[in-house]
Structure 1
Amino acid sequence: MALTPRIAIDAMGGDVGVRMMLAGAAMARHKHDGLRFILVGDEVQIKAALENHPNLRAASDIIHTDGVVTGEDKPSQAIRKAKSTSMGLAIDAVKRGDAGGAVSAGNTGALMAMAKLALRTMPGIDRPALAALLPTLGDNDVVMLDLGANTECDSRNLVQFAVMGAAYSRVATGREQPRVRLLNIGSEEIKGTDEVRDAAAILRRAAGDLSMSFDGFTEADKICRGEVDVVVTDGFSGNVALKAVEGTARFVADLLKRGFSSSLRSKIGFLISKPATELLKHHLDPNNHNGAVFLGLNGIVVKSHGSANAAGVANAVAVTARLLEENVTERITADLARLGGSTLRMPRVQEESA
């Protein structure tokens, strides 16, 4: 296997900062000893944290900066100070080719803005999309995008998201023909906005040229059923749906916790059912699916949850490494070439049926 390019870590990002980011990177390297890193942030803090991780220290270089993008910084503010912050310099390492990808647990809006400005979008992609893996009842996780990078999208954007999501799904799940669906308010062809129905028409015509199985729409209650591998939507709907899924998971977990502690009989029931509840807890733990990727850029940038623990950060690093090893950017480029620009310039559905 080819040597994995180095991964730049924004060591100052996240709720805990250097200690947690480096603990996660060290955990990832224990599982994948070919990983190498560029650690970006305050050198004194980084060196102190590395004392606990000699294996990571041996595989890392440090870029010093004491500048940090805060959670309160607006994207425009973050861009102005990009060259002096840990987030900005981590992305710059990807731009220069010193790193193949970057991981940050910092401000999502700032990360998106700086990554898009520095790396630019790939040829054939109008807008990058934020994609993440969600757990399902099936054998594979589901890729969902866009999760907030673009609040309004036209049919061309949605088609491009489908191509990128399918390429990511092939890397993440190993399924050669990912089942791709557009998120909609119903499964009928007449449902949804013009943009969604137009995108569906384009994908139906083009699916034979792409490594995907496309069969129309899915509704929000089917996202985690395991019946689909890629769910495509605009960033507004995607972010709302994601938070609804996460909120429902927390609601179920809290409801079970409350029920099991309500009486002595319930507590005994909890002890009997503990193996099942531990499995549920593991399945719903966001750290096990941490690492959302900005697809469509000339370089890999992965967003970790700010509250992720070491295992969550390690998972985000592992996502980055796998995307680099499997050349997801080249896969997207190849699929776009097969799709062809003429397909994306199709007349609208309404005009075809007139």
Structure 2
Amino acid sequence: MEPGPPQSLSERRPQLSVERLVDELEPPWRFDAVRFDTYIPDPNHPSQPEAVAVLAAFAAGIGGGPAGGSGLRSWFSRKPAAPTGPRGVYLDGGYGVGKTHLLASLWHAAPVPSHQKAFGTFVELTNLVGALGFQETVRVLGRYKLLCIDEFELDDPGDTVLVSSLLSKLVDAGVSLAATSNTLPGKLGEGRFAAADFLREIQGLSAHFRPLRIDGEDYRHRGLPEAPPPYADEVVTKTARTSFGASLDHFPHLLGHLSQVHPSRYGALIEGVRLVCLTGVEPVPDQSTALRLVVLADRLYDAEIPVIASGVPFDRLFGEDMLRGGYRKKYYRAISRLTALARDAGNFDGGA
């Protein structure tokens, strides 16, 4: 059986129901099997095993269970009385130190049913508010006992106020919180536009979390070869046409299409695709386009979809001004993840 013509992501216009947005508040399937005991700490960085121990105690206390001997019980009490200390943990560290692995492990370890715990990225959380409205989102998430937020980012004052207010309501409802980011809670917004305008909101938000610093090197590059160089256009096109489940897009056309699809739908955009093939990769022209590409890179990485491309290497996608600017952490994360997916493409089996 021969593969059919490759699909084009640029021709897809997925629609998502509110029910699907809520149902998808679980760890990406690439993290289905992760647990605390599958996390491999870097022996050169003691903060990594220390974080596992703290998170294991955190998980044990969610839903009213024992919090162990760590003195953390008051964080997670479901009693009506307002908590006196933080109700959550905040995993801070660089790219590829395993923060999402640990966050997903916490979700799996929490001793409550799946329908009582939620897991989503910061972008998915803000998209949920956009779809449901603030009060309905508070009502829906307030029924959970644990909310895990991955890739916590504050890109503008509006999102800062929105998320700060949402988390405050959820804390009042007794929801335990856990989040990952590359910036400590008290430092959110530094290096971003108009940071001084929402510093007060950031400081209030940080009070909900106990920060856990996780040091280390990007595991995606730890002892691994450098990302493969780009392929020729002809190789990318031939691979797309001879592989089952491949998509084929000219990179500038795909970037233009992303501007017409809400980022909450990027996961649906790549649904059913086994290999993404891109021709003519070039540096992104502006910041809005770059931020949309970051979301797409996150969804591709979550779904473990390899990427084969021609044009410039992925480490040249974002210009020097972008890599020095307020969103540099997002851009470095995208480079790291796309590099890993490009490496995965070398082992792709194009058969059915």
Regarding TM over 0.5, the answer is no
- TM-score, normalised to structure 2, is 0.23
- TM-score, normalised to structure 1, is 0.23
